[in-house]
Amino acid sequence: MAFTLPNLNYEYNALEPHIDARTMEIHHSKHHAAYTNNLNAAIQGTEWESKGIEEILKNISKLSPAVRNNGGGFYNHGLFWEIIAPNAGANPSGNLSEAIDKKFGSIDNFKKDFTTAATTRFGSGWAWLIVQGGELAICSTPNQDNPLMDIAEVKGTPILGLDVWEHAYYLNYQNRRPDYITAWWNVVNWNEVAKKFSAAK
């Protein structure tokens, strides 16, 4: 199989009380596993089987809806598990902190704008912090699309992503997406976001 479900660096219950163990277990072992399996099935026997996921996403307009949905789902969730962690949530430092202050005025302003992007994304989708021509920007995408895709309205390299599909929060937060987002800030792994920022610049 071309792609495999990545393991988490922490236990399913490690992000409680902000993200509950049952949600984490279903999200990773069912949803992310399904995107991975369906992506493999969709590219089996094609030239894309030997390509990396980023190359697939950058050429997504040439590929089927099954690859778009499941390739996006495979990539997006891999990033999502990396940018959250237990005992995280302190504010960013260093170059990333400076870049956020420069672009958004302050970390609080950034969180406000990002939260607006996440709460106003209608239906299922993602909010993103991206690097675009060396600069930070906030955007959101529907379904499992992402800013690496050639069909994305706003393109760039994602360094932080928030899943606002109901499957990401409904068991614990029901319809209260804003409460889920408020809690999620407590588990953002800024060290990892800073690494992705350096790599993307």
Q: Cβ atoms within 10 A of the Cβ of 192, count?
A: 19
Q: Return d(Cα 53, Cα 169) in angstroms, integer.
A: 26
Asked if 74 interacts with Mn ion (CB under 5 A), we say: no
For residue 145, state whether it binds Mn ion (rule: CB under 5 A): no
Return the DSSP state at 20.
Answer: -
Question: By C-beta, is 67 or 168 nearer to Mn ion?
Answer: 168
Binding-site size, Mn ion (CB under 5 A): 3
Residue with tokens 């990545």: 6
Q: Which is nearer to Mn ion, 26 or 107 (CB)?
A: 26
Shortest separation between residue 41's beta carbon and Mn ion, angstroms: 19
CA distance 75 to 122: 21
CB of 152 to Mn ion, least distance (A): 18
Among 163, 188, 193, 194, binds Mn ion (CB under 5 A): 163
Q: Which is nearer to Mn ion, 104 or 165 (CB)?
A: 165
Residue 134 · residue 97 · CB < 8 Å: no
CB of 165 to Mn ion, least distance (A): 5
- Told to check if 165 binds Mn ion by CB under 5 A, we report yes
Nearest CB to Mn ion, comparing residues 126 and 197: 126
**Cβ proximity of 7 and 82 under 8 Å:** no
Q: Closest separation between CB of residue 92 and Mn ion, Å?
A: 24
CB nearer to Mn ion: give 165 or 184.
165
CB 17 within 8 A of CB 171: no
Provide the CB-side half-sphere exposure for 158 (13 A, CA): 29
How near is the Cβ of 134 to Mn ion at its closest, in Å? 29
Give the length of the chain.
201
Using CB under 5 A as the criterion, which residues of the chain lie in contact with Mn ion when the complex forms?
163, 165, 168
